[in-house]
Each structure stands twice: as structure tokens, then as C-alpha cells.
């Protein structure tokens, strides 16, 4: 079941009606039941992976909370400082052992399901396992949204250990936080303490909030069905086997469109997820802030998939820098290299984050290289930032509109080169595309043949119009305008004309049909 399916809309409407009919203290149960139904239908099998993660997370959280409580009680009875230090160290060792065991178990499940997908079909062919992989995976091994709920669960356990949130003693509420149905497949990542606070507070029906939520859902569906999936007709044709001999100009157009497709697809899903949640008076964190207006790669990734970046920063980067190993490395580097040593821990942490980011996004070497590519750029920027500032000062470059446009264009080029790597079917194809862009561009031929790759002239014109509308909304939002409230303040003919216009575009020009896979959200495969 996907957010763009009719079944989901039915589940949403029924859950919405029940949600505001039951007592306020029982509203979370409706969301939990809807999440369970969504999950079971979506997987078509037993939610073994989710239950295993949920049980281990619940047990670990309760144990950590009890260990911290016992630690405080024990320390309060000890006066000697050295004895206090020894007792505290003993409790810390037990906490670390339990957390490591928990991480090994749940990351092991994640790695198995993510990387054994490619291995098991081979093993099936050899007959070593004596099972059919399709049944095995669909029923047990391939839990829906495992990447997202595993990282959410790990964040919760770390936060409990850091005393940044209290352990949840109600297992049903914990599972709801892990598997909340609008967000389970693609996020956004939620901090447990904040999300639990959203579920616990009272929720009263509000027509304006409901209407705004539906608006945002429709806008997300528009970006997905009208823009992203129309772009896919062209991009899929160019990067598929049929586009192997395309000129560099066609590859350039396809890559730029893929950049827009990926953004429209993922941000469209986020709009839909946040819109659904808004109708329940649940507010999830924003996951995008117009990344293609960024002036640097670092800024781009602060605006793109914000919650994932925050997760890696808080639980990987911060954990490494503040660990005894990280502090030791940093201290030694500063002593050995007084000028550059202060960057060493940052470089190591950034490299680790981007290796993990690449591995999280995909199982191929291309994604690993993609992570290394961005990690290297981040590290170089970190070290050379003072030099950049000095060069700008010496060259008298002012931070004006022209320079900002240059920085945006530079960011687009960097992202453009990276996206070729992950969209190509293989490293060989990626190498071929890079070569074609440099040595075989053929601009005139590309212009004349652009409609030969899955998208007609009418399709391009329609796509251009939809992107123009999207750009106008994005510019207004980038300037701090709330477009929904701006529309609400307009005269009724204008307001409802816009509403009906977008709805009709969605219904008439959306990519539907028997050959269309409604499960094909790009980020869901990550």
C-alpha cells in the first residue's frame, strides 16, 4: 500500500473519522491500528522484522532507564569520590555492553535484509538453502521501511542512554513511534521525544488544519505524478539500454531532469506524509528546504533530507568526536600539526558519515563512490574555507546576487556529476556518459532528437508548465512566504481557481495506467 494508492486514501479517511470520534486519550490507538494495518497490507506477510526490532528496542530502553535510576540511587549513598567514580564506571560499562549488543542485533538485521537481497537469488539457484527467495523475502525477511525504523529505534536507545528522553513503558506507543504509517517507508526520521510529545498531547478537530493537510497531500501527489513520473519516461529511456549511444547533450538533459525527478519524487512524498499527519494534528519535522537554491554542497545537504543528515550528525559524527578515541586523535593531531590538526577529527567524522550515507542509500559500488565523492568535497571545503574567504577578500568579490548565482550553478554542477554515478546502470555506463559529455556532446543532434526518448513535445511542454508552477511556489517559500495562507487570503474565485486548477492537472496529466508502478517512489528503494 502506497500513499498514492486508493487503498491508502480509504485507510486515511476511515482513520481520520475514528480519530476524532474516540476519547482524546485513546486517539493514539487509532493511529497504532492504522499503522499496523498499513504495515501488514504493505508487506503481505508477517511483520517479523518490525516486531523483533520493537521488542529489542523496548527491552533495551527499559533496561537503560532502570540502570540509570539504579546508578543515581547507588551514587547518592556513597560519599567517597574515588568509590563514586569506580561505581559510576561500572554502570557505564554495563550500559555500553547492552547498547553494543542491541546495535549489533538490529544493525545485523538491517545489513542482512539490505545486502542479502542480491545474494539469496544466487543461493536459490544453487539449491543450498532449499527455499524460494520470493516467498522468503515477502513473508519474513524484507520488512517494510526497515532502514527508517531501525535508525529511528537506534536514535531512541542512544537518547535514553544519554538521558535526553525517558524510556517508553507502553510497548504499543513505542511501536507507534517506530512504525507511524505516513512516515515508515521514507521518513522523515523522528526524534522519539518530540514525536511522543506529538502523540501525547490532546488533538481537537480543526477544519482549517484539515484543509491545509489535504492541500499539502495533493501538492505532493502533483509533484510525484505530474512531474517526477513524467520525467521518468525520459530519464528511464536515456539511461536504459536504448540510450547507450545517445549524444552527450541528451545525457546532460536527462541528468538535469533526473535531479528534478529525484527531488520532486522524494519531496512530494514528504509533502504527502506531512499533509496526512497534519490532518491528525501531528506535525512531523520538515525534510527539505529548497536544496537547489544552495550556494555550496554543504548547504545543499543541510537542505536535502534534513532529518537523515541530522541523524548522522547527532549519532555518528557527535558520537565519534566526543568518544575517547576521537578526543585522543584530536589531541594528538593538534600537537603534531598545530595548524591543520584541529580539522583531523572533523575530517575523520565526515568521511565516516559519508561512507555510511553511501552504504545506506544503495548496495552497489556506485553508491560507495558517490559517498566518497561527497565526503572528499566536504573535507576539502572544511580545510580550505579560510583560504576561500581570503581569496574572495583579495579579489574584492562581494556577496551579491551574481556571486550567489555563480555559487548555485557550481553546486548544480557538483550534484550533476554525482547523480550520473548513481543513476547509471553500471560504472561502465557512467564512464561512457562522462566521456560523451566531454568528447561527444553533439548539441544540434541532441536538440533534434530530444523527443525520441520516451517523452513527446506535448509532454515536454506540459512538464515545463508544471515545473514553472513548482518554481514559483518554491521561490515564494524560499522568501519566507506561506503559500497556503497566501491562497487562503485571496478572493474566493482566485483561491478556488488555484485549487481546482492543480487538482485537474493532477487528475488529467498525472501518470496513471496499468503499466505504472504506484510503488515506485525512488527513495523507498534506499
Distance CA 516, CA 430 (A): 26
pLDDT of residue 515 exceeding 60 = no
pLDDT of residue 222 exceeding 90 = yes
- Please indicate, yes or no, whether residues 157 and 47 belong to a single structural domain of this protein: yes
pLDDT, position 123: 52
- Banded model confidence at residue 302, pLDDT cuts 50, 70, 90: very high
Least confident of 125-134, 296-305, 415-424, 510-519: 125-134
429 found inside a domain: no
pLDDT of residue 273 exceeding 90 = yes
How does pLDDT run across 403-460, given as a tens digit for each residue?
889 999 999 999 999 999 999 988 989 999 999 999 988 888 878 888 888 888 888 9
Distance CA 354, CA 83 (A): 42
pLDDT of residue 199 exceeding 60 = yes
Instruction: Give the burial class of 399: count Cβ atoms within 10 A of its Cβ; 0-12 exposed, 13-18 middle, 19 or more buried.
Output: exposed
pLDDT of residue 320 exceeding 90 = no
If one counts every other C-beta atom within 10 angstroms of the C-beta of residue 504, the result is: 10
Distance CA 280, CA 274 (A): 10
Residues 277, 259 contacting (CB under 8 angstroms):
no
User: What are the grid coordinates assigned to 467, written together?
Assistant: 515545473
DSSP class of residue 441 equals -
Average pLDDT over residues 327-354: 83
Least confident of 260-269, 330-339, 364-373: 330-339
1 found inside a domain: no
- Please indicate, yes or no, whether residues 366 and 495 belong to a single structural domain of this protein: no
pLDDT of residue 371 exceeding 70 = yes
pLDDT, position 518: 46
- Please indicate, yes or no, whether residues 464 and 411 belong to a single structural domain of this protein: no
pLDDT, position 387: 80
pLDDT of residue 110 exceeding 70 = yes
pLDDT of residue 201 exceeding 60 = yes
What does R_g of the chain's alpha carbons equal in angstroms?
Answer: 25
pLDDT, position 243: 57
Distance CA 413, CA 408 (A): 9
In terms of residue numbers, what domain contains 114? 6-205
- Banded model confidence at residue 321, pLDDT cuts 50, 70, 90: confident
pLDDT, position 138: 47
**Domains of the chain: total:** 3
SS3 304: strand
pLDDT, position 11: 93
Distance CA 474, CA 202 (A): 33
Residue 127: left if φ>0, alpha if ψ -120 to 50, beta else—which one? left
Helix pair 365-394, 344-361: axis angle to 10 deg: 140
- Please indicate, yes or no, whether residues 338 and 401 belong to a single structural domain of this protein: yes
pLDDT of residue 511 exceeding 90 = no
Of 275 and 359, more confident: 275
- Please indicate, yes or no, whether residues 267 and 303 belong to a single structural domain of this protein: no
474 found inside a domain: yes
Instruction: Provide the sign of the torsion angle of the four alpha carbons 354, 360, 365, 366, taken in this order.
Output: negative
Average pLDDT over residues 210-236: 92
pLDDT, position 1: 64
Q: If you average pLDDT over each of 47-51, 118-122, 228-232, 343-347, which comes out highest? A: 228-232
- Please indicate, yes or no, whether residues 149 and 11 belong to a single structural domain of this protein: yes
**Which residue from 161, 204, 156 is spatially nearest to 177, judged by alpha carbons?**
156
Distance CA 483, CA 245 (A): 44
Ranges of beta strands (E only) in 206-315 are none
220 found inside a domain: yes
pLDDT, position 111: 80
How does pLDDT run across 464-506, given as a tens digit for each residue?
999 999 999 999 999 999 888 888 888 888 888 888 888 888 8
Average pLDDT over residues 282-300: 93
Cis before residue 188, ω within 30 degrees of 0?
Answer: yes
pLDDT of residue 523 exceeding 90 = no
Share of the chain above pLDDT 70, in %: 90
443 found inside a domain: no
Return the biggest CA–CA distance within the chain.
Answer: 84
Share of the chain above pLDDT 90, in %: 44
- Please indicate, yes or no, whether residues 169 and 284 belong to a single structural domain of this protein: no
76 found inside a domain: yes
Of 143 and 346, more confident: 346
Average pLDDT over residues 250-263: 94
pLDDT of residue 186 exceeding 80 = yes
pLDDT, position 157: 93
- Please indicate, yes or no, whether residues 124 and 240 belong to a single structural domain of this protein: no
pLDDT, position 393: 80
Final residue belonging to a domain, choices 205, 238, 270:
205
pTM of the model: 0.89
pLDDT, position 221: 92
439 found inside a domain: no
Average pLDDT over the chain reads: 85
- Please indicate, yes or no, whether residues 284 and 301 belong to a single structural domain of this protein: no
Q: Which residues pair with 304 in a beta bridge?
A: 288
- Please indicate, yes or no, whether residues 277 and 301 belong to a single structural domain of this protein: no
pLDDT, position 85: 87
DSSP class of residue 289 equals S
Residue recorded with cell 515564494? 476
How does pLDDT run across 64-105, given as a tens digit for each residue?
999 989 988 888 888 788 888 888 888 889 999 999 999 999
312 found inside a domain: yes
CA atoms within 13 A on the CB side of 68: 18
pLDDT, position 294: 93
- Please indicate, yes or no, whether residues 387 and 517 belong to a single structural domain of this protein: no
- Please indicate, yes or no, whether residues 38 and 125 belong to a single structural domain of this protein: yes
Amino acid at each position: 500500500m502506497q500513499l498514492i494508492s486508493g487503498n491508502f486514501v480509504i485507510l486515511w479517511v476511515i482513520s481520520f473519522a475514528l480519530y476524532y470520534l474516540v476519547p482524546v486519550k485513546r486517539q493514539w490507538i487509532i493511529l497504532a491500528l492504522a499503522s499496523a494495518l498499513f504495515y501488514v497490507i504493505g508487506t503481505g506477510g508477517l511483520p517479523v522484522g518490525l516486531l523483533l526490532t520493537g521488542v529489542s528496542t523496548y527491552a533495551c530502553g527499559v533496561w537503560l532507564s532502570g540502570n540509570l535510576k539504579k546508578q543515581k540511587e547507588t551514587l547518592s549513598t556513597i560519599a567517597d569520590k574515588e568509590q563514586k567514580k569506580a561505581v559510576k564506571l561500572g554502570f557505564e560499562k554495563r550500559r555500553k555492553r547492552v547498547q553494543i549488543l542491541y546495535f549489533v542485533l538490529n544493525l545485523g538485521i538491517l545489513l542482512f535484509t539490505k545486502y542479502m537481497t542480491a545474494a539469496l537469488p544466487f543461493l536459490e539457484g544453487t539449491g543450498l538453502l532449499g527455499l524460494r527467495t520470493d516467498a522468503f523475502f515477502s513473508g519474513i525477511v524484507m520488512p517494510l521501511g526497515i532502514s527508517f525504523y531501525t535508525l529511528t529505534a537506534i536514535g531512541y536507545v542512544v537518547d535514553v542512554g544519554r538521558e535526553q528522553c525517558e524510556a517508553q513503558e507502553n510497548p504499543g506507543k513505542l511501536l507507534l513511534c517506530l512504525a507511524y504509517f505516513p512516515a515508515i517507508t521514507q521518513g522523515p526520521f523522528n526524534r522519539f521525544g518530540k514525536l511522543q510529545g506529538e502523540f501525547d498531547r490532546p488533538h481537537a478537530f480543526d477544519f482549517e488544519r484539515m484543509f491545509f493537510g489535504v492541500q499539502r497531500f495533493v501538492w505532493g501527489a502533483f509533484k510525484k505524478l505530474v512531474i517526477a513520473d513524467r520525467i521518468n519516461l525520459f530519464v528511464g529511456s536515456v539511461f536504459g539500454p536504448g540510450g547507450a549511444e545517445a549524444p552527450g547533450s541528451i545525457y546532460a538533459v536527462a541528468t538535469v531532469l533526473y535531479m528534478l525527478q529525484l527531488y520532486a519524487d522524494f519531496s512530494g512524498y514528504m509533502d504527502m506524509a506531512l499533509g496526512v499527519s497534519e490532518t491528525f494534528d501531528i506535525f512531523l519535522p520538515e525534510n527539505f528546504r529548497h536544496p537547489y537554491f544552495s550556494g555550496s554542497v554543504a548547504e545543499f545537504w543541510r537542505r536535502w533530507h534534513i532529518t537523515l543528515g541530522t541523524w548522522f550528525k547527532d549519532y555518528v559524527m557527535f558520537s565519534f568526536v566526543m568518544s575517547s578515541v576521537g578526543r585522543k586523535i584530536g589531541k594528538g593531531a593538534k600537537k603534531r600539526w598545530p595548524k591543520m590538526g584541529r580539522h583531523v577529527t572533523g575530517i575523520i567524522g565526515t568521511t565516516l558519515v559519508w561512507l555510511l550515507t553511501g552504504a545506506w542509500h544503495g548496495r552497489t559500488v556506485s553508491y560507495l563512490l558517490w559517498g566518497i565523492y561527497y565526503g572528499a568535497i566536504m573535507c576539502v571545503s572544511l580545510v580550505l574555507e579560510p583560504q576561500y574567504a581570503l581569496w574572495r577578500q583579495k579579489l574584492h568579490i562581494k556577496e551579491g546576487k551574481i556571486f550567489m548565482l555563480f555559487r548555485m550553478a557550481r553546486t548544480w554542477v557538483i550534484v550533476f556529476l554525482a547523480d550520473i554515478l548513481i543513476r547509471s546502470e553500471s560504472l561502465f555506463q557512467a564512464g561512457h556518459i562522462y566521456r560523451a559529455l566531454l568528447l561527444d556532446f553533439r548539441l544540434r543532434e541532441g536538440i533534434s532528437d530530444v523527443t525520441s526518448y520516451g517523452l513527446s513535445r506535448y509532454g515536454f511542454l506540459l512538464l515545463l508548465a508544471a515545473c514553472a508552477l513548482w518554481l514559483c511556489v518554491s521561490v515564494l517559500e524560499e522568501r519566507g512566504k506561506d503559500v497556503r495562507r497566501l491562497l487562503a487570503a485571496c478572493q474566493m474565485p482566485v483561491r478556488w481557481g488555484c485549487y481546482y486548477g492543480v487538482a485537474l492537472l493532477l487528475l488529467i496529466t498525472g501518470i496513471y495506467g496499468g503499466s505504472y508502478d504506484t510503488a515506485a517512489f525512488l527513495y523507498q528503494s534506499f
